[in-house]
Amino acid sequence: MSVTAPAGFSATGASVGIKASGVPDAALVVSARPAVAAAVFTQNKAPAAPVQTSRAHLATTGSVVSAVLLTSGNANAATGDAGLAACSALCGDVATTIGRPSDEVLICQTGLIGIPFPIDAARPGVSTLAATLGHDEAAAHRAATAIMTTDTFAKEVVVERDGVTVGGMAKGAAMLAPDMATMLCVLTTDAVTDPTTLQRALSAAVAPSFNSMDVDGATSTNDTVIVLANGSGVEASESLLTELLTEACMKLAEDMVTDAEGATKAVRITVTGAASDAEAHAGARKVANSQLVKCSLNGEDPYWGRVLSDIATARIEMDPSTTTIAYGGITVSAGGVGVDHDAAAVAAHMAERWNWISIDLGLGPGTASILTTDLGYGYIDENRTTS
Amino acid sequence: MSVTAPAGFSATGASVGIKASGVPDAALVVSARPAVAAAVFTQNKAPAAPVQTSRAHLATTGSVVSAVLLTSGNANAATGDAGLAACSALCGDVATTIGRPSDEVLICQTGLIGIPFPIDAARPGVSTLAATLGHDEAAAHRAATAIMTTDTFAKEVVVERDGVTVGGMAKGAAMLAPDMATMLCVLTTDAVTDPTTLQRALSAAVAPSFNSMDVDGATSTNDTVIVLANGSGVEASESLLTELLTEACMKLAEDMVTDAEGATKAVRITVTGAASDAEAHAGARKVANSQLVKCSLNGEDPYWGRVLSDIATARIEMDPSTTTIAYGGITVSAGGVGVDHDAAAVAAHMAERWNWISIDLGLGPGTASILTTDLGYGYIDENRTTS
């Protein structure tokens, strides 16, 4: 069900002519009653037109949102005033069809950067999107499918507890990095809450999930996570909301890493024993961002020397003599040197789709995990050219 | 001539049995009279045994050095006390053969990390290295060849001005990154100088050369640049020394990037108009370190949108509306959007071995360049496995 699981939400997806191939490229999520919203946007200093537009709309309405339009196939980034005008037109078209003010429509877009958005081609299709809105699983799946770019499967989630439901959908692919990936995510909930609480819960949910993925160190121009709470259900405490949103975001983040562009491995890098959580995070990110480590994961080679060398340049407190490194829980290095270990067990672990490298610095209580991928031919094939 | 070009230096290279293949794997550079030395070492917090040893020797002697031993095929990193003992033994063997104290011998090693150093195999060969020392070009070339790992050509340089000669040799390959690459470099000069002046000149020379390369963001456990000034020539001013050392280091750095592991392109990323030189450097490094930009260089695709997106996440002052991006001097984007340009001329530039991306931020006087490479199958082939 994903985004239509909480009461009062409908969704759809269709082809509106942005992608020349004719595959679905636009999705719409609508709340039957204006919802309270919260959002986390990219920190990129060249944010795409849809990011600028959605930020402005949230500010104007005080975070009241009735619909989110998502398109794929063109990022509408580095497109100047024409890009902003396109966003205005599209939000206006959706607003007209659902009978709400234009400012209550948010917009997310993903695709190539720096190419003029084909607004004339897209408007007729966007204007008729609302006609196919549905509350069922098929409608939600149409929406999740229409936002895919190089994703190979739709990413959907539903979590429920204590009478509160959270649904979500996302698209990932490459550029999964510092402070969000090239990713879009829309979450819905029937919880009764207020914008401030919802924003705190969303920010807390994004930190260990989308902000702890790193496929290639790139932060996109378009990254957006939006949650709509339409209050058709019961009141939710901040802690319950945070829990549910975190669960939903973690599941979608794991799906994204599993499906990252051209990757053959999904990898969790865990650092423990750091001086602080922040230092653990920096160390895990440095290892996750290492092309050398990522190549060795592609080759299923437990080259722990690179892991040690990388964490030793993370500009965090560390000492090789207190550092332990394990693959799949099997210690391969301790005190800065290799140790005897069951090589067959390590090889069996590395042959799996999910790999796990854990690094204990033996210094303090700090801990963090980063999700990443290997680096192989597939990534290069996807990213050599835009054509 | 490289390292033997300044008077009073001899060199050699030979196979001492570290590399199973039997190719040359040890080099020796000797000064006929004890020389004044300066060095720049890796900032890695897990420095290899040879780095720890050389640092200690420089401290003990007050930077007086008679010889530098360099070996390839095993980094002697993450090898614990046994690694340090191996360095002691090798320096002692060289000291004996040249009749100088052990502390006057420095050691540099390169190769795989975390594998016990084959000290018993290497000692006999190291003990007889001095017998083949020579002052001619062939001897210098033997030394430069013996330190190669995945390098495809020996990297040598000689510069002369105002009666002062500087010679140098280096090895590079992958892991060319923040604050030096996996690289070793030995420079020699006949200049009369003192350790403090020499250290300042070397540090100034390393900043725009070895510390402005970034192939894959990795900083090795073994990076070392050493200069020996044996005073057999004339007195050199600090500015002359800095000039000569900078020229030599720049030439060797360009050779390294040209020959980086598996690369098909050598690329200069220049940032101008930044708020400061430091911000320009951070911006250029962020772009140089972008897997997405590097893949597009491999595909000869002028995807400036990625360049803009990357520099916009470099955590420096920037504004897309004042930013201009050019490939090979041909402007492809200005004010955050694409501009009409001669696409055939850009394509012709990108087909060359050397590419040049320049980014003007239009904000201030800050400028910096970083040398980097593309990212393609070759890098992955070199780095998937250690075997």
* pLDDT per position as a tens digit, B150-171: 788 999 999 999 999 999 999 9
Mutate to test the interface with A, among B150, B180, B290, B309 (most CBs of A within 10 A): B309
**Percentage of residues in chain B with pLDDT exceeding 90?**
74
* Per-domain residue ranges of chain B: 2-255, 266-383
The predicted structure's pLDDT at residue A219:
67
**ipTM of the prediction:** 0.72
Contact A349, A328 (CB under 8 A): yes
pLDDT of residue A291: 85
Per-residue pLDDT, B175: 45
Tell me which of A360 and A110 has the higher pLDDT.
Answer: A360
* Per-residue model confidence (pLDDT) at position A50: 97
Give dist(CA A244, CA A250) in Å, integer. Answer: 10
> A49: which 2 tokens?
């037109």
pLDDT for position B174 = 54
Q: Catalytic residue, from A79, A182, A246, A258: name it.
A: A182
Radius of gyration of chain A (CA): 21
* pTM for this prediction: 0.78
Q: How confident is the model at residue A263 (pLDDT cuts 50, 70, 90)?
A: confident
Question: What torsion, rounded to 10 degrees, do the Cα atoms B54, B58, B63, B66 define?
Answer: -50
Asked if A75's CB is within 8 angstroms of B336's CB, the reply is no
Q: What residue of A is the nearest CA neighbor of B77?
A: A305
CB B34 within 8 A of CB B176: no
Which chain B residues are within 8 Å of A376, Cβ to Cβ?
380, 384
Give the mutation candidate from A43, A44, A45, A211 for the B interface (greatest B CB count, under 10 A).
A45
Residue A179 pLDDT exceeds 50: no
**B337 contacts on A by Cβ (under 8 Å):** 78-80, 114
Contacts of A313 in chain B (CB under 8 A): 43-45, 178, 218-219
A vs B, Cβ pairs < 8 A, gives 196
For residue B306, the chain A residue with the least C-alpha distance is A113
Task: Please judge whether A114 and B320 are an interchain contact, meaning their C-beta atoms are less than 8 angstroms apart.
Answer: no
Do residues B64 and B34 make contact, with C-beta atoms less than 8 angstroms apart? yes
Mean pLDDT confidence for A271-285 = 95
Q: Which residues of chain A are within 8 Å of residue B218 when distances are taken between CB atoms?
A: 290-292, 306, 309-310, 313
Average of per-residue pLDDT across B77-105: 97
For residues B327 and B325, give the distance between their C-alpha atoms in angstroms, rounded to a whole number: 7
- Which numeric CATH code is attached to B2-255? 3.60.70.12
B58, pLDDT greater than 50 = yes
Q: Is B182 a catalytic residue?
A: yes
Query: Scanning every residue of chain B, which has its alpha carbon at the shortest distance from the alpha carbon of A377?
Result: B377
Q: Is residue B306 pLDDT above 70, yes or no?
A: yes
Q: Kindly report the CATH number that applies to the domain delimited by A2-258.
A: 3.60.70.12
* pLDDT tens figures, A28-67: 999 999 999 999 998 888 899 999 999 999 999 999 999 9
Taking 80 as the threshold, does the pLDDT of residue A282 lie above it?
A: yes
Q: Which residues of A touch B325 (CB under 8 A)?
A: none
pLDDT tier at B149, thresholds 50, 70, 90: confident
- Which among B327, B314, B236, B244 has a CA at the least distance from the CA of B279? B314
Q: In this predicted model, what pLDDT tens digit does every residue of B267-290 receive, in sequence order?
A: 999 999 999 999 999 999 999 988
From the list B217, B220, B376, the residue facing A291 with the nearest CB is: B217
Kindly indicate whether the domain formed by A266-383 is annotated with CATH number 3.90.1640.10. no
Q: What is the pLDDT of residue B262?
A: 75
Question: Is pLDDT of A217 > 70?
Answer: no
The chain A residue lying nearest B217, using CA atoms, is A290
pLDDT band for position A387 (50/70/90)? Answer: low
Stretch B16-30: mean pLDDT, rounded?
Answer: 93
B73 close to B149: Cβ distance less than 8 angstroms: yes
Catalytic residue among B182, B224, B246, B373: B182
**CB-CB contact of B291 with A383 (8 Å):** yes
Mean pLDDT of chain A: 91
Asked if residue A380 has pLDDT above 90, the reply is no
Q: How many angstroms separate the CA of residue A301 from the nearest CA in chain B?
A: 6
| Cross-chain CB nearest to A301 (options B79, B379, B385) | B385
The pLDDT of residue A178: 33
What is the pLDDT at residue B177? 40
Cβ of A308 and B78 within 8 Å? yes
Q: Give residues with Cβ within 8 angstroms of A338, minimum separation 6.
A: A304, A332, B78, B114, B115
In this complex, the residue of A114, A292, A335 whose CB is nearest that of residue B304 is A114
- Which is it for the CA torsion A270, A276, A281, A284, positive or negative? negative
- In this predicted structure, what is the pLDDT of residue B181? 45
Task: Give me B13's structure tokens.
Answer: 């290279």
- pLDDT band of residue A177 (cuts 50, 70, 90) is very low
Q: What is the mean pLDDT of residues B167-179?
A: 67
Domain A2-258 shares a fold with domain A266-383:
no
Residues in chain B closer than 8 A to A291 (CB atoms): 216-218, 291, 375, 379, 383
Closest partner residue to B114 among A113, A305, A318, by Cβ?
A305
